[in-house]
């Protein structure tokens, strides 16, 4: 399942485009663990009782005839039917419990992720209220499940223990009072000692067999738990398979158009009659026509929400392509730097070479790269390239952006898409980085509101926020 989730862009599309699963982390960790635990419980709760039923049933039938074990099994069959009729659907209840646990966990996860912002806003009361609501909803559900388990437990015990005892006494009396009593009494010679010995033997077999059948009957709870976890896992599998063939589900105001777009590979970027459509079905641009060959440094401008980043989401195949033809270089020849760069847990070197696993440049070369964004001093200050830290938590916004700017010089792509990624660095650093990019032959596509960046570009794509766009030379 991990492999399916991390295949291509499915991990992004699962929450970014599709809306069926909101907590994939819980589905891929806790739910699978519980499913496996539940499955192993079923195995141990089924195999031993089945063996016991067979063994003790055989022994019992030697003295009581076949009808002895058949009566016991028939009684438990009736019990099973009654329990099935009365029992609530524990499978669905378990699945719902998992969903609520996922929501509770996600709320805590969001506090960990945004603790600094929440602390500055003094948002603890608000967060407390939100977490409390999820906790209340979870505990309410769990207590209702426990109540149902309690009353079902009482019914189970009544039927499986007391009812079974009464049936058992009837069965134990069969040799002496049953239809074949004459044959039995003749065989053992009417000796009360023998009758008592058989009675004790039979009651011991019967108790063991009854226990085994009882365990089997009440294991319906385990079955239902397993069914609940299985339904969660199979839902997740279905969504993963759908996403793999680009089948998305989301409640949209307007129906999504059919995906008819085509991607082609070439060392340029070209949009031919391409609509830019959000996953909600909002058409941000009806038809975009644009051709950028290497060397055409282009700035993209427009009001907030006009679709600047969405253009790159479509170009990067994160969002579905609903029409037209997009021509672009191989993904390895393109780099995208967002406003808030991603810094994975790892060494300082890992931050610079991400997503490469092994560096293709020496530490000296990496230091040279850092010089281009005035960040080389940092390596000595913070313990060298091998220092492992949670850089996301310990670096300032500007320092994170300097790492992202350095990454471009490490990867040296044909096209670099810079999405407001210099907003926290000084104009001097921005100048050094941009001049170096141009010197290295990297074609820049920049989204910015900063006037200071315009001079590095020769073309502009301007969007007005109403679906209109214009591509001009500067
Ligand atoms: N995952 C998403 N699902 C649905 N709609 C989205 C999603 N992401 C963005 N949008 C919508 O698409 C529109 C364009 O968003 P986009 O991020 O491209 O704006 P932008 O031009 O980059 O804005 P800004 O300058 O503020 O960064 C917005 O109306 C936004 O609400």
472 C-beta closer than 6 A to ligand 1:
no
Q: Give 190's pLDDT tier (boundaries 50, 70, 90).
A: low
Integer Cα distance of 30 and 357 in angstroms: 28
308 C-beta closer than 6 A to ligand 1:
yes
Q: Which of 151-155, 289-293, 425-429 has the lowest mean pLDDT?
A: 151-155
320 C-beta closer than 6 A to ligand 1:
no
325-328 and 269-277 strand pairing? antiparallel
Average pLDDT over the chain, rounded to whole? 86
Of these ranges, 66-75, 290-299, 388-397, the one predicted with the greatest mean pLDDT is: 290-299
Query: Atom 17 in ligand 1: which residue has the minimum CA distance?
Result: 309
Do residues 442 and 458 make contact, with C-beta atoms less than 8 angstroms apart? no
Residue pLDDT, tens place only, 360-392: 999 999 999 999 988 888 887 777 889 888 888
What lies within 8 Å, CB to CB, of 393 at 6+ separation is: none
pLDDT at 467 over 90: no
CATH of 1-245, one of 3.40.50.11900, 2.40.10.220, 1.20.1560.10, 3.30.9.10: 1.20.1560.10
303 C-beta closer than 6 A to ligand 1:
no
pLDDT at 145 over 80: yes
For residue 162, the model assigns a pLDDT of: 78
Integer Cα distance of 277 and 444 in angstroms: 24
For residue 264, the model assigns a pLDDT of: 93
Assigned fold of 262-473:
Rossmann fold (3.40.50)
Q: Which atom of ligand 1 is nearest to the CA of 302?
A: 21
For residue 401, the model assigns a pLDDT of: 92
Query: Atom 20 in ligand 1: which residue has the minimum CA distance?
Result: 305
49 C-beta closer than 6 A to ligand 1:
no
For residue 474, the model assigns a pLDDT of: 85
What global pTM score does this model have? Answer: 0.72
Q: How far is the CA of 448 from the centre of ligand 1 (A)?
A: 15
* Domains 1-245 and 262-473 belong to one CATH topology: no
ipTM of the complex: 0.95
Domain ranges of the chain: 1-245, 262-473
Query: Atom 13 in ligand 1: which residue has the minimum CA distance?
Result: 305
Question: In terms of C-beta density within 10 A (0-12 exposed, 13-18 middle, 19 or more buried), how is residue 183 classed?
Answer: exposed
304 C-beta closer than 6 A to ligand 1:
yes
């Amino acid at each position: 399942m991990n492999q399916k989730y991390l295949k291509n862009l499915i991990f992004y599309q699962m929450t970014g485009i599709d809306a069926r699963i909101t907590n994939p982390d819980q589905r891929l960790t806790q739910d699978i663990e519980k499913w496996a635990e539940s499955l192993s419980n079923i195995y141990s709760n089924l195999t031993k009782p089945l063996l016991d039923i067979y063994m003790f049933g055989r022994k019992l039938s030697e003295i009581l005839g076949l009808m002895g074990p058949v009566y016991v099994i028939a009684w438990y069959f009736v019990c099973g039917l009654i329990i099935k009729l009365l029992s609530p659907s524990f499978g669905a209840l378990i699945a719902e419990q998992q969903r609520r646990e996922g929501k509770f966990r996600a709320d805590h996860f969001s506090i960990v992720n945004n603790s600094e912002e929440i602390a500055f806003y003094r948002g603890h009361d608000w967060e407390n209220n939100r977490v409390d609501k999820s906790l209340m909803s979870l505990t309410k559900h769990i207590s209702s499940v426990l109540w149902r388990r309690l009353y079902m437990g009482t019914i189970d015990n009544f039927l499986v223990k007391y009812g079974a005892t009464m049936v058992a006494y009837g069965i134990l009396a069969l040799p002496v009072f049953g239809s074949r009593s004459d044959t039995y009494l003749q065989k053992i010679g009417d000796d009360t000692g023998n009758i008592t010995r058989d009675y004790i033997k039979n009651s011991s077999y019967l108790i063991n067999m009854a226990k085994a059948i009882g365990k089997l009957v009440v294991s319906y709870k385990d079955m239902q738990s397993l069914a609940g976890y299985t339904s969660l896992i199979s839902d997740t599998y279905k969504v993963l398979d759908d996403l793999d063939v680009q089948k998305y589900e989301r409640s949209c105001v307007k129906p999504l158009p059919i995906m008819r777009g085509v991607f082609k590979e070439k060392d340029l970027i070209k949009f031919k009659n391409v609509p830019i459509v959000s996953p909600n079905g909002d058409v941000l641009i009806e038809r975009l026509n644009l051709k950028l060959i290497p060397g055409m440094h282009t700035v993209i401008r427009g009001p907030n929400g006009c679709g600047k980043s969405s253009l790159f989401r479509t170009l990067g195949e994160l969002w579905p392509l609903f029409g037209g033809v997009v021509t672009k270089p191989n993904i390895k020849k393109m780099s995208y730097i967002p406003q808030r760069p991603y810094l994975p847990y790892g060494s300082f070197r890992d931050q610079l070479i991400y997503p490469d696993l092994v560096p293709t440049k020496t530490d000296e070369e990496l230091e040279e790269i850092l010089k281009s964004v005035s960040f080389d001093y940092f390596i000595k200050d913070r313990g060298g390239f091998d220092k492992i830290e949670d850089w996301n938590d310990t670096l300032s916004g500007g320092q994170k952006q300097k790492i992202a700017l350095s990454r471009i010089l490490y990867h040296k792509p044909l096209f670099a898409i810079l999405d407001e990624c210099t907003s926290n660095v000084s104009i001097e650093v921005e100048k050094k980085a941009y001049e170096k990019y141009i010197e290295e032959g990297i074609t820049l596509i920049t989204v910015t509101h900063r006037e200071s960046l315009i001079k590095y570009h020769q073309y502009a794509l301007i969007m007005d926020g109403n679906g209109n766009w214009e591509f001009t030379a500067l």
